[in-house]
Amino acid sequence: MASIVSAETAEAIVSGSTVRYLFRYVLDIGETHERRVWVHMSVDGTAERTARSNLLLDELAQAEVGQLLGDTNG
């Protein structure tokens, strides 16, 4: 199971009452993953980055389990 060694907000663009974030995560296995999200300006960017990192780790764990079980659907 991979873990995140660094997480950064690569971009934060304000448009009206929303912010478009681009979060970049580097994993201990050398992979880099990015996630883009549009949220209301009142949302804390750091908290959102952390929430997205948790979702990323969950996605990766599910994919790893699928590979181990021979899942051909995902």
Domain that holds residue 60: 4-68
Q: How many residues does the chain have?
A: 74
Residue 74 domain-assigned?
no
Residue 39 to residue 43: CA distance in whole angstroms: 7
Express each pLDDT in 9-60 by its tens digit. 999 999 999 999 999 999 999 999 999 999 999 999 999 999 999 999 999 9
Residue 26 domain-assigned?
yes
Residue 45 to residue 73: CA distance in whole angstroms: 33
Q: How many domains in the chain?
A: 1
Residue 59 domain-assigned?
yes
Residue 73 domain-assigned?
no
pTM: 0.85
